[in-house]
Amino acid sequence: MPEPEAVPAVKMKRLTLGVSEDLHRKIKSGCANHGVKMADEIRVLLEAHFSQ
C-alpha cells in the first residue's frame, strides 16, 4: 500500500500580548461556553480582521 502524501505544516509564530484581567476573564469564559480554545478563537478574529 502506498504511503499517504505528507501535508505541509503551516509554520506558526508565537504572539504575546497583555490584556486586562477583566478582558481575559470575558474571553476565557466565552470560549469555555462555546467549547473552543482561546488561542483558536483569537486566531480566527485576527485572520478575519487582517485578511482584507
User: Tell me: the pLDDT tens digits for 2-51?
Assistant: 676 777 788 999 999 999 999 999 999 999 999 999 999 999 999 999 99
Per-residue pLDDT tens over the stretch 21-34: 999 999 999 999 99
Position 49 scores a pLDDT of 96
Name the DSSP letter for residue 35: T
Alpha-carbon distance of 12 to 14, in angstroms, equals 7
Prediction pTM value: 0.73
